[in-house]
């Protein structure tokens, strides 16, 4: 009896992996320790077959409570680790991943049906809202793949490799210098807008993934407890992601009852939650990789990470430092109670390079995100009390 | 001065922005040129990605149209063009950036080229040691517009910085802007047509000499902004020509430099230990020298300024300069009215305009201790604009400023130590 209990989690994990394997017949994932593989398929993380993009065995998909906005793209995120390796849980920072870890993020859109446009859906940009019903595969008849970005942890640290999918959706090819892809995005209200979807170059990847300019250490952003602490449907069963990662052996050191014990960011799109929690989660994932006290934007003294105190460094009554035309003629980052007097709102609502924030990674404004920040600022009470 | 500083520079309207951003000048380049430039961009960015310490990336003569900002992360890299007028990187059609070039790295040298019309800053260098910018021109070619990038040559949080023989034109904030840095030399450079020509901000130990600043809103600025990790001090501004900085302020409202009146020669705001000597300061129509506090910028709010920020200019030493003209057509209603009231229609404000804010906490029996004073050379008159009393009783009072301060030592930086 004792034995059975002790081995149950292991057995469950093994069954999960066996089940996943049954549906697929890809060569094993290959961690490539050096060089810049030309094709995404060199890694064997995922393969196109039967009109679907299928994840390989042990390549585990996950979502974030509140994801980064990227021109309404949906994102299929995965993590893979070499056998016997696991990441170490950290409460507030990115998990400590072992050498050999491969994290992928595939950007895709539902097709507009006219062979030309892609759809902007107002979900929160995760995978589970992209219409992929199994969670670990994408139906290519209804989805257009854009790019797959890899973060690979090699002996010398993380590297970033952006791969751009071909028109036939059969292969993605390395594009270290980035790419610019024209898209026409159709919104739910039938409006459409054209935009140039920008694939970042490898150095631009660092603009977000180096959260500490002094250490210059490249790090994943999403795999933090507060982003991952939510449910995902694995093998048809909705399961807490942190607990599932621990169960399959990808995460060690997870506290007991993680779903309640670990920090959890709000889902920005969940209108049942408090506007403050939603707005802070939104700023955390969209801005805090630069706007923290060690980040690239610490030159501006604006700190938007979760947990940063709600004072002038959150923008309250704070005059800008290096905004240029990004002020939009407004005096303060946040003028409490006055969204239309707040630089933050102006920059989030802009799609103009040089004015918009974040400064990379989007070519259009996130209407729903802007509405959230507007509501958040509007609900603030105290004004700035200007001296004059 | 508060109002005077506030009423100007209201050109940051969206209308102006939209118009400026959709305009395209000149004939479209041929398909061959577009494709050649795309290949050039890819190759150059690859070189930047692959650069190792000691790498020299040579860019041959030519004008190249780039659609993406260039980024370099790595130490010991030199980027070299064939000459400021020969190698031109144009970002007029830039889709992503926002900078023309963004650099994170130590031991970085860039020389002999032009970066123009980037959507954001021209050349931004963030957090590096031993930075050399030589014979680099950064410019916006469409004249002064709020939609021009904020900063031209822009090292921030850097150490050991040498900017020499360079040119900055048309920045909507500052042409040459060194922020939050330590050990800086800006010399033999030219700044024109910017809101601020050369600006040293929150920086410790800077020498600014042998430069020409002309036709900017303000010529040479030494500022301290609140809330930043480092307050600046110890800047020497000498042997510069600061002439006719009378350009209408075109900064976006809300930026620090939007509070600078057109016609400002040398401006010190909230900084300390600043020495201004041996300059030719000529025909700056508000005043040849302005010394002011953050209190008079109009941005001081109860909540928005970190505790510990010192808004007062202190230990400012102005001596041995040659002032000529200026003060005859100050910018802004209040200063105009002030000038007429005190000096008549044909008169002019004196060479040095002080906003009158003083740190009374430091005063002993009504006067500042010698080491905190503002000391002005004998032949220059000073106008106290009486900012703390809403500019009601401006006064001319030269005697309190007739003092001397200990001189600052020259700035030493690694690059020049290596040369000598």
Secondary structure of B287-339 in HEC code, one letter for each residue: EEEEEECHHHHCCCECCCCCCCCCCCCEEEEEECCEEECCCCCCCCHHHHHHH
Q: Where are the alpha helices (H) located in chain A, listed in sequence order?
A: 2-22, 202-209, 225-228, 241-247, 258-261, 275-287, 343-349, 367-378
B298 contacts A332? CB cut-off 8 A: no
Q: Do B72 and A313 touch (CB under 8 A)?
A: no
Query: Between chains, do B45 and A216 touch, taking CB under 8 Å as contact?
Result: no
Using CA atoms, how far residue A368 sits from A282, A374, B301, B411, in Å, is 11, 10, 31, 51
Nearest CA in chain B to A361: B96
Closest chain A residue by Cα to residue B228: A301
Residues of chain B contacting residue A158, judged by C-beta atoms under 8 Å apart: none
Q: What whole-number distance in Å separates Cα of residue A202 and Cα of residue B164?
A: 31
List the single residue in B with minimal CA-CA distance to A212. Answer: B127
Give CA torsion, residues B227, B228, B229, B230, to 10 deg.
-110
ipTM over the 0.95 cut-off: no
**C-alpha–C-alpha distance, residues A315 and A322, integer Å:** 13
Report the gap between the CA of B40 and the closest CA in chain A (Å).
11
A385–B303 CB contact, under 8 Å: yes
Answer whether B179 sits within 8 Å of A322, measured CB to CB: yes
Q: Given B104, B229, B304, which is nearest A317 (Cβ)?
A: B304
Distance, in angstroms, between A345 CA and closest chain B CA? 14
Q: What is the pTM for the complete model shown?
A: 0.91
DSSP string, A235-268: TTEEEEHHHHHHHTTSEESPPTTHHHHS-----T
Contact: A325, B147; criterion CB under 8 Å: yes
Helix axes A367-378, A275-287, angle to 10 degrees: 130
pLDDT string in tens for chain B (420-residue length): 443 443 223 223 333 333 333 344 567 778 999 999 999 999 999 999 999 999 999 999 999 999 999 999 999 999 999 999 999 999 999 999 899 999 999 999 999 999 999 999 999 999 999 999 999 999 999 999 999 999 999 999 999 999 999 999 999 999 999 999 999 999 999 999 999 999 999 999 999 999 999 999 999 999 999 999 899 999 999 999 999 999 999 999 999 999 999 999 999 999 999 999 999 999 999 999 999 999 988 888 888 899 889 999 999 999 999 999 999 999 988 899 889 999 999 999 999 999 999 999 999 998 899 999 999 999 999 999 999 998 889 999 899 999 999 999 999 999 998 665
Contact state of B228 with A343 under an 8 Å Cβ cutoff: no
| Residues of chain B positioned with their CB less than 8 A from the CB of A311 | 303
């Amino acid at each position: 009896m004792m034995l059975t209990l002790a081995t149950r989690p292991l057995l469950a994990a093994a069954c999960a992996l066996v089940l996943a394997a049954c549906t697929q017949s890809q060569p094993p994932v290959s961690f490539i320790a050096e060089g810049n593989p030309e094709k995404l398929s060199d890694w064997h993380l995922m393969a196109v077959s039967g009109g679907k993009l299928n994840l390989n065995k042990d390549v585990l998909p996950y979502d974030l409570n509140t994801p980064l906005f990227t021109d309404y793209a949906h994102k299929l995120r995965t993590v893979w680790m070499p056998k016997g390796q696991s990441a170490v849980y950290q409460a507030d920072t990115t998990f400590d991943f072992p050498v050999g870890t491969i994290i992928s993020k595939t950007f895709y859109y539902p097709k507009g049906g006219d062979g030309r446009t892609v759809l902007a859906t107002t979900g929160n940009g995760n995978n589970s809202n992209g219409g992929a019903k199994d969670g670990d595969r994408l139906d290519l008849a209804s989805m257009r793949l854009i790019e797959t970005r890899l973060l690979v942890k090699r002996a010398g640290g993380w590297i970033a490799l952006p791969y751009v999918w071909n028109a036939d959706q059969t292969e993605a090819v390395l594009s270290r210098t980035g790419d610019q892809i024209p898209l026409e995005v159709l919104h739910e209200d039938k409006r459409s807008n054209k935009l140039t979807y920008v694939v970042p170059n490898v150095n631009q990847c660092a603009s977000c993934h180096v959260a500490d300019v002094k250490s210059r250490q490249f790090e994943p952003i999403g795999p933090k407890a507060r982003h991952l602490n939510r449910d995902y449907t694995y093998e048809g069963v909705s399961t807490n992601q942190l607990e599932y990662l621990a169960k399959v052996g990808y995460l060690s050191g997870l506290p007991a009852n993680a779903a309640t014990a670990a920090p959890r960011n709000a889902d920005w799109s969940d209108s049942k939650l408090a506007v403050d929690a939603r707005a802070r989660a939104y700023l955390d994932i969209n801005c805090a990789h630069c706007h923290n006290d060690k980040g690239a934007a610490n030159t501006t003294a604006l700190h938007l990470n979760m947990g940063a105190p709600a004072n002038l460094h959150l923008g309250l009554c704070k005059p800008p430092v290096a905004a240029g035309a990004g002020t939009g003629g407004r005096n303060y980052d946040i003028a409490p109670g006055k969204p239309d007097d707040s630089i933050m709102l102006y920059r989030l609502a802009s799609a103009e390079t040089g004015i918009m924030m974040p400064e990379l990674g989007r070519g259009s404004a996130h209407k729903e995100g802007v509405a959230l920040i507007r509501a958040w600022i509007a609900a603030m009470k105290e004004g700035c009390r200007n001296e004059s | 001065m508060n109002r005077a500083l506030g009423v100007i520079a209201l050109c940051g309207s969206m209308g102006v922005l939209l118009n400026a951003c959709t305009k395209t000048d000149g004939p479209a380049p041929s398909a061959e040129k577009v494709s050649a430039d795309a290949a050039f961009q890819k190759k150059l960015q690859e070189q930047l990605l692959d650069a190792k310490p000691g790498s020299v990336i040579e860019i041959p003569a030519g004008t190249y149209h780039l659609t993406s900002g260039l980024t370099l992360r790595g130490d010991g890299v030199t980027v070299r063009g064939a000459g400021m007028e020969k190698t031109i990187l144009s970002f007029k059609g830039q889709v992503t950036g926002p900078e023309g070039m963004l650099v994170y790295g130590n031991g970085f040298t860039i020389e002999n080229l032009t970066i123009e019309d980037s959507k954001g800053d021209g050349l931004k260098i963030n957090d590096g040691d031993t930075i050399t910018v030589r014979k680099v021109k950064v410019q916006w070619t469409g004249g002064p517009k709020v939609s021009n990038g904020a900063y031209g040559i822009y090292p921030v949080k850097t150490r050991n910085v040498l900017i020499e023989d360079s040119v900055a034109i048309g920045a909507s904030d500052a042409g040459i802007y060194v922020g939050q840095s330590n050990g800086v030399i800006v010399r033999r450079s030219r700044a024109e047509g910017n809101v601020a020509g050369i600006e040293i901000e929150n920086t410790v130990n800077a020498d600014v000499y042998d430069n020409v600043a002309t036709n900017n809103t303000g010529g040479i600025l030494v500022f301290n902004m609140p809330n930043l990790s480092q307050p600046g001090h110890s800047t020497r501004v000498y042997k510069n020509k600061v002439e006719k900085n009378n350009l209408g302020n075109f900064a976006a409202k809300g930026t620090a430099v939007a509070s600078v009146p057109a016609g400002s020669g040398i401006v010190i705001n909230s900084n300390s230990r600043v020495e201004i000597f041996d300059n030719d300061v000529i025909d700056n129509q508000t005043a040849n020298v302005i010394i002011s506090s953050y209190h008079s910028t109009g941005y001081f709010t109860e909540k928005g300024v970190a505790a510990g920020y010192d808004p007062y200019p202190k230990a400012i030493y102005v001596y041995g300069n040659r002032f000529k003209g200026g003060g005859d057509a100050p910018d802004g209603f209040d200063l105009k009215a002030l000038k007429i009231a005190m000096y008549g229609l044909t008169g002019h404000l004196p060479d040095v305009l002080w906003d009158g804010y003083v740190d009374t906490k430091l005063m002993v029996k009504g006067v500042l201790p010698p080491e905190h004073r503002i000391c002005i050379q004998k032949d220059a008159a000073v106008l106290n604009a009486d900012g703390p009393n809403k500019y009601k009783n401006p006064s001319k009072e030269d005697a309190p400023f007739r003092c001397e301060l200990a001189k600052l030592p020259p700035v030493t930086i690694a690059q020049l130590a290596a040369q000598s």
